[in-house]
Amino acid sequence: DAGVIQSPRHEVTEMGQEVTLRCKPISGHDYLFWYRQTMMRGLELLIYFNNNVPIDDSGMPEDRFSAKMPNASFSTLKIQPSEPRDSAVYFCASSFIGYYGYTFGSGTRLTVV
Amino acid sequence: DAKTTQPPSMDCAEGRAANLPCNHSTISGNEYVYWYRQIHSQGPQYIIHGLKNNETNEMASLIITEDRKSSTLILPHATLRDTAVYYCIVEGGGADGLTFGKGTHLIIQP
């Protein structure tokens, strides 16, 4: 298994632009989580899905952030419009609830200038 | 309030056992203790979890006190590649998302 795959690995964009981050979870996993990591705030849970349905998006910082999971093998996190304070590393993780460990992807390092 | 308390940093000599403590005095009966680690520039990696019994796998051992108010993660023979931030997390099964604190930065010295 290739693990959780995130793309792109690095993204540099200008303030005001739309940014889309992508995640492919491990096949068979029924939970998908989006996290954000900054030096100031550490790892923060943004949103998670169960069987492609969003369960809790209370961690999404603003309406500029949205996430979708159209099928079991793909999820996106979109920021529109992006701002410099959105600069962070964004991680996607998946798990099978019968096994409590999460598998994280390598992350997307987002820089908004 | 944080559910866990960990020392911010620790050193350990290469080849020795690394013992990472975690206090979780408010843990409830249905909550598990999870350990993850994050090597620089990588995503967090699951290590081990337990409810009340001690657990061991190929990576580490987890010792939970009888009153469940604290635990210790043991890396039996630390290598330089074990240098990372180690997170102790207390949650009721992980289905609601895990909350990461600041963790312990473990530095393995050659």
Q: What is the 3-state secondary structure (H, E, C) of chain A?
A: CCCCEEECCEEEECCCCCEEEEEECCCCCCEEEEEEEECCCEEEEEEEEECCEEEECCCCCCCCEEEEEEECCEEEEEECCCCHHHCEEEEEEEECCCCCCCEECCCEEEEEC
Given this model, what pLDDT does residue B86 score? 98
Mark yes or no for CB contact B44/A102 under 8 Å. Answer: yes
Chain mean position to CA B80? 17
Residues of A in contact with B104 (CB under 8 A): none
Chain mean position to CA A87? 13
Determine if residue A98 is left, alpha or beta; phi over 0 gives left, psi from -120 to 50 gives alpha, anything else beta. Answer: alpha
Distances (CA, A) of B54 to A92, A104, B66, B73, B86: 30, 25, 10, 10, 18
Given this model, what pLDDT does residue B75 score? 97
Whether residue A108 contacts residue A6, with contact meaning beta carbons closer than 8 Å, is answered with yes
Residue A1 has pLDDT above 70, yes or no: no
Mark yes or no for CB contact A43/B45 under 8 Å. Answer: no
Residue A42: closest C-alpha in chain B: B102
Residue A100 has pLDDT above 80, yes or no: no
Of B42, B94, B101, the CB nearest to A102: B94
Instruction: Look up residue A14 and give its two tokens.
Output: 């200008």
Given this model, what pLDDT does residue B39 score? 96
Establish, for the pair of chains A and B, how many residue pairs have beta carbons separated by less than 8 Å: 50
Given this model, what pLDDT does residue A98 score? 57
Distance from CA of A27 to the nearest CA of B (A): 18
Which DSSP letter does residue B15 get? T
Query: Percent of chain A scored above 90 by pLDDT?
Result: 91
Residue B73 has pLDDT above 80, yes or no: yes
